[in-house]
Structure 1
Amino acid sequence: MSDIDSVTLNFTPGSLVALNIVLAAIMLGIALDTTVADFRRALTKPKAMAVGVAAQFLLLPAVTFVLTLALDPAPSIALGMILVACCPPGNISNVLTHRAGGDVALSVSMTAVSNVLAIFLMPVNLAFWGGLHPDTRALLRSVDLDAASMITEIALIIGVPFVVGIWLASRFPAVAARVQPWVKNGSLVALLAFIAAALAGNASYFAAYVGVVLVAVFLHDTIALGLGYLCGWATGLPEYSRRAVSFEVGIRNAGLGLGLVFTFFDGLGGMAVVAGWWGIWDIIAGLVLATVWSRRPARRKAAA
């Protein structure tokens, strides 16, 4: 199994540019549906926001660290799991929250705030937990990870399209409203197609390690979704808000993680396969959970 640590997946520079464009389009889609009022709304629900942010950036990476120690996968797989846990939420979380009958306003606000925070917190979390792990520490040293370069890369993929999207939504709301569904849905389909193509193009590697990756991603995603809900329950949030927090913690922007794997880790096998499969599986798991919850209406009480 350790062979996967020396495998680099096939990925051309042109493909990486295309992936970054798709990721930027996803962020633009989120931003076109975000306004300054969403950030103000976040201030009206400080408890729910604090719970969601803490669960994403403090608890999930810590729990993932423990999970990698328990499963003891190949180092590159473990680092891939840590990387995904450090990613911000994906915009599909808002769709799933709506389908589940959860607090969509909280979900949108949390996605916006979390993506801004991720520009700085994601590199810090990856460096800390990856450096703390006895098996992944050597991988981080081998690539000489530069936090400043990663912050710049994330800022270009997340920050720039986010600022542009919010500006367009504020300056030209009618145009933004018409364009947003196409950008949001089109970029999501493009990302899924991109991930599927990447996995298919490296099918031999995926087939060789599919067992451990399926188990790792299944457990990891289940724990992430459960962690969000449990944090909401433990802090007294109503069911309406717990569902939103659950999807904000459980749905990660694994596409961003995949882009970073190819940018900073040269397509390292275990990391790329974990990020690629997570990007597909968390949507499947999220849709199943949202469908189950949609049959049980939640109490629509505003979060504190």
Structure 2
Amino acid sequence: MTDGTGRTPTEAFVAHRNLLFTVAYEMLGSAADAEDVLQEAWLRWVGVDHDEVREQRAYLVRIVTRQALMHLRTLGRRKESYVGPWLPEPLLTSPDVAEDVELADSVSMAMLLVLETLAPAERAVFVLREVFALDYAEIAEAVDRTPAAVRQIAHRARAHVAARRPRGSVSAAENRRTVAAFRGAVETGDLQGLLDVLAPDVVLLTDGGGVVRAALAPVVGAGLVAEVLGNIASTTLHPTLINGDPALVIRRGGEVDTVIAMRIDDGLITGLYAVRNPAKLSRVERENPVGR
């Protein structure tokens, strides 16, 4: 059985898989949970009467969105008992993702943390509208709201995100220079070099999940953050692309120990996100296909 594009249901699912994974990941901040959502979506998709499906992409996005919304409830309960700051699961991404500015921004660690501050329905609507450009009628079906209600939710979510997203536009080249300066300062223990690239109100979040050593509260201020980073001086930091942005990886004994992602505003680092929880580090060894 095929649709108007000539694709069978299986071919359609495979063709849209990167999009579906990205929708689920942006809603959940967890690649493992996003994969679970895709498994559940596949089981529902194969049970659908495909003769009744007018547009496969929209239908698949609807299934994934509904499953992700259900997972958000479970994830919320899990976060309530999480030890220390909770950070999204970092993904190793290809250079192609970084070249798609809107996609890279939407999966960045900084943006995912902003999305965490939205209510579940707001998060779903924002992702589907602002990132994937679905029309209001399609989103309404996915979140079980009227198109008019979806417009209101989208307006509210857009204003919320706009107030919290990175303040200044920074080129990819400037980002790389800032990350390189930060890397050199940490590796050599250059305190002044660190202070030169850290914003005065920089915030460091470390996610150990209660499994490995990590700060249990945010570290705020350039001086305190530089002091903490001084503990890893002389450690080699390996540059990589995480969630579409330049990032650094610390390895110990050949294994990934820490992923350091960052938020850069106007050439200064305003946020540092150090993921150390071993359960969240399996996706930084191989590229993860995200897409629109």
TM-score, reference length from structure 1: 0.29
Instruction: Name which structure has the greater RCO, CA cutoff 8 Å, separation 6+.
Output: 1
Higher share of residues assigned helix: 1
Computing the radius of gyration from Cα coordinates, the structure with the larger value is 2
